[in-house]
Amino acid sequence: MTPRTRRTLTVVSLGVSLRVVFLLWAGELELWADEGQYVVQAVALERFGFYLGSPSWVWPPGYPAFLAACLGLFGELGLLAAKLVQIGLSAVIGVSVMVLARRLFSERAALVAGVTWALYMPLIAYTHYLWPETLFLVLLLPAVCLFLSVVGPRGVADGAPWRLALAGALIGGTLYLKEAALPLLVLLPLILVAAGERSMGERVAGAAVLVLGAVVVVLPWTLRNYEVYGRVVPSGSTVGENLWQGVNAHYINWDYGGVGREELVRESRAYVLLARPPKDAQAWPRSTAANTIDRSSESSAAARDFVRAHPGYYLRSRIKKLADWVTPLSFFVRHQRNGMYPGSFGRWPIRIPFVLWSLLATAGVLALGTVGLFASLPRGAPQWTVLAVVATFLASVAVVSMSRYRVQVEPFLIVSAAGLVSAGWPPRGLARTLGLVALGLLIVLWLLNAAEIAAVLKGAL
Partner 1 sequence: VRGWLILLSVLVLAEVGLFGLWHRDSDELRAAAAEPVSPASLFALHVLANRDDTEPLDLARVRALLESEHAEVREYAMTWDGTRAAGEQLQRAYLEGLEDEGERARCDFYLRHQILRPTLERLRAYLHHSSVPR
* Contact status: 213 vs partner 1 (CB under 8 A): yes
101-109, 121-129, 214-222, 311-319 -> range binding partner 1 (CB under 8 A): 214-222
Read off the amino acid at residue 455.
A
Beta bridge partners of 58: 237
In the chain, the N- to C-terminal Cα span, in Å, equals: 44
- The answer to whether 297 contacts partner 1 (rule: CB under 8 A) is no
Q: Which residues, in sequence order, are CB contacts of 11 under 8 Å at separation 6+? A: 94, 98, 111, 114, 115, 117, 118
Question: Smallest gap, in angstroms, from Cβ of residue 81 to partner 1?
Answer: 12
30 binds partner 1 (CB under 8 A): yes
- Choices 88-96, 144-152, 283-291, 384-392; region in contact with partner 1 by CB under 8 A: 283-291
Site for partner 1, residues 75 to 104, rule: CB under 8 A: 75-76, 78-79
Least distance between partner 1 and beta carbon 43 (Å): 7
- Decide if residue 40 touches partner 1 (CB under 8 A): yes
CB of 292 to partner 1, least distance (A): 5
- Of 18, 20, 44, 391, the one binding partner 1 (CB under 8 A) is 44
DSSP state of 187: H
User: Is-cis flag, bond preceding 132, omega within 30?
Assistant: no
Burial classification of residue 80, based on how many CB atoms lie within 10 Å of its CB (0-12 exposed, 13-18 middle, 19 or more buried): middle
Say whether 310 sits in a helix, a strand or coil. coil
Q: How many CB atoms lie within 10 A of CB 334?
A: 24
Query: Is residue 446 near partner 1 by the rule CB under 8 A?
Result: no
Interface size with partner 1, residues (CB under 8 A):
54
Identify the residue among 89, 91, 182, 228 touching partner 1 (CB under 8 A). 228
Residues belonging to the chain: 461
- Whether the CB-CB separation of 360 and 333 falls below 8 Å is answered with no
Cβ closest to partner 1, residue 203 vs residue 310: 203
Among residues 17, 156, 186, 230, the one that binds partner 1 under rule CB under 8 A? 230
CB of 418 to partner 1, least distance (A): 34
Nearer to partner 1, 345 or 412 (CB): 345
* Among positions 102, 103, 295, 334, the unique one binding partner 1 when judged by CB under 8 A: 295
Query: Cα dist. 81→12, 28, 43, 74, 129 in Å?
Result: 20, 13, 15, 7, 12
Nearest residue to 403 via CA among 183, 249, 256:
256
Please say which residue, 230 or 311, places its beta carbon nearer to partner 1. Answer: 230
443 forms part of the interface with partner 1 (CB under 8 A)? no
Q: Which residue number, 241 or 324, has a Cβ lying nearer to partner 1?
A: 241
Q: Which stretch binds partner 1 (CB under 8 A): 221-229, 328-336, 376-384, 404-412?
A: 221-229
Query: How many angstroms separate the CA atoms of 407 and 177, rounded?
Result: 14
- Kindly tell me which of 33 and 350 has the beta carbon lying closer to partner 1: 33
DSSP letter string, 39-95: HHHHHIIIIISS----SS-B--SHHHHHHHHHHHHHGGGHHHHHHHHHHHHHHHHHH
Report in angstroms the alpha-carbon separations of 433 from 212, 385, 420: 39, 21, 14
x/- contact string, 171-210, with partner 1 (CB under 8 A)? -------------------------------x--xx-xx-
Shortest distance, position 71 Cβ to partner 1, whole Å = 7
Q: Counting contacts by CB under 8 A, is residue 349 touching partner 1?
A: no
What are the CA-CA distances from residue 280 to residues 16, 240, 276, 306, 309 (Å)? 52, 23, 12, 11, 10
Under rule CB under 8 A, residue 48 binds partner 1: yes
Label residue 278 exposed, middle or buried (CB < 10 Å: 0-12, 13-18, 19+): exposed
Per CB under 8 A, the segment of 176-184, 244-252, 284-292, 362-370 that binds partner 1 is 284-292
Please give the Cα distance from 418 to 415 (Å, whole number): 5
State in angstroms the smallest separation of the CB of 121 from partner 1.
23
Using the minimum distance from each CB to partner 1, give the nearer residue, 289 or 451: 289
Residues that bind partner 1 (CB under 8 A): 28, 30-33, 36-37, 39-40, 43-44, 47-53, 55-56, 58, 71, 75-76, 78-79, 160-162, 164-165, 202, 205-206, 208-209, 212-213, 215-216, 219-220, 223, 226-230, 288-292, 295
